[in-house]
Amino acid sequence: MKLEAATFFRLRRLAPVLDDVLGAGEVEHAEQALGLGSLAQLCSQLLDAYHQQHPDEMTQVRLAALEPQ
């Protein structure tokens, strides 16, 4: 699924927030928490869009994730 330019730039803008949190091992301030919320919302929208385009593939992946390893 090709990302729209605006979505790509939003992800690029939010990526450092995730990098900071992973590097520190904690959420250090409110701006990071808000950034993580925005990133989660954007990821959810991307998941929904991908699911609409590839419902069978998503079903297979979800079923595979439920299988014991």
Residue 56 is classified by DSSP as H
Low-confidence spans in the chain with pLDDT less than 50: none
At 68 the pLDDT is 85
At 66 the pLDDT is 92
Q: 6-32: b or e for each residue (b if 16 or more CB lie within 10 Å)? A: eeeebeeebeebeebbeeeeeeeeeeb
18 and 27 in contact (C-beta within 8 Å)? no
At 69 the pLDDT is 75
At 39 the pLDDT is 96
At 40 the pLDDT is 97
- Average pLDDT score, the chain: 94
